[in-house]
């Protein structure tokens, strides 16, 4: 016996595919790490653990970018899904503020695809 599929509400959207969600989570985490480092810097200096964590997240983003070449537009995906993840925590933030936050980690690495992540020393 076949069971009919339930009808979905009109405003329903599918969750993003896994890789896009992962990229968004890492972008959001990196943006938060940068904010934390800036706050620590204003209060006497960023802590080594904070800068290491931020550097690890930037390295993860770079690795994700390299692994998705030819598969998706990484920058557009990172901006859209990073903003979506941040919106979940900061519902009252303006679009401009979220756009600015997601841009920070995305401008923290070399843009040339011929450089490896090991050549880049983010937050060192």
pLDDT digits (tens, 9 = 90+) for 101-115: 999 999 876 654 444
Tell me which of 6-15, 18-27, 41-50, 92-101 is least confident. 6-15
The Cα 64–Cα 60 span in angstroms is 6
Question: Does residue 85 have a pLDDT over 60?
Answer: yes
SS3 content of the chain, % helix, strand, coil (to 5): 60, 0, 40
pLDDT tens column, 18-41: 899 999 999 999 999 999 999 999
pLDDT tens column, 52-84: 999 999 999 999 999 999 989 999 999 999 999
Average pLDDT over the chain, rounded to an integer: 81
Q: Hey, where are the domains in the chain?
A: 18-109
For residue 97, give every residue at least 6 positions away whose Cβ sits within 8 Å of its Cβ, in sequence order, or none. Answer: 90
Burial classification of residue 117, based on how many CB atoms lie within 10 Å of its CB (0-12 exposed, 13-18 middle, 19 or more buried) = middle
> Higher-confidence residue: 73 or 123?
73
Q: So what's the pLDDT on residue 59?
A: 92
Q: Say what the pTM is.
A: 0.74
């Amino acid at each position: 016996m076949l069971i009919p599929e339930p009808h979905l509400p009109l405003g329903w959207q599918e969750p993003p595919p896994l890789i896009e969600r992962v990229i968004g989570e890492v972008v959001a985490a990196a943006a938060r790490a940068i904010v934390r480092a800036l706050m620590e810097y204003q209060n006497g200096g960023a802590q080594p653990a904070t800068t290491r964590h931020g550097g690890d997240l930037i390295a993860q983003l770079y690795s994700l970018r390299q692994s998705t070449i030819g598969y998706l537009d990484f920058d557009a995906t990172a901006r859209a899904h990073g903003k979506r993840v941040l919106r979940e925590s900061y519902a009252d933030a303006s679009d401009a503020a979220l756009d600015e936050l997601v841009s920070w980690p995305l401008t923290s690495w070399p843009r040339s695809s011929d450089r490896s992540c090991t050549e880049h020393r983010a937050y060192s």
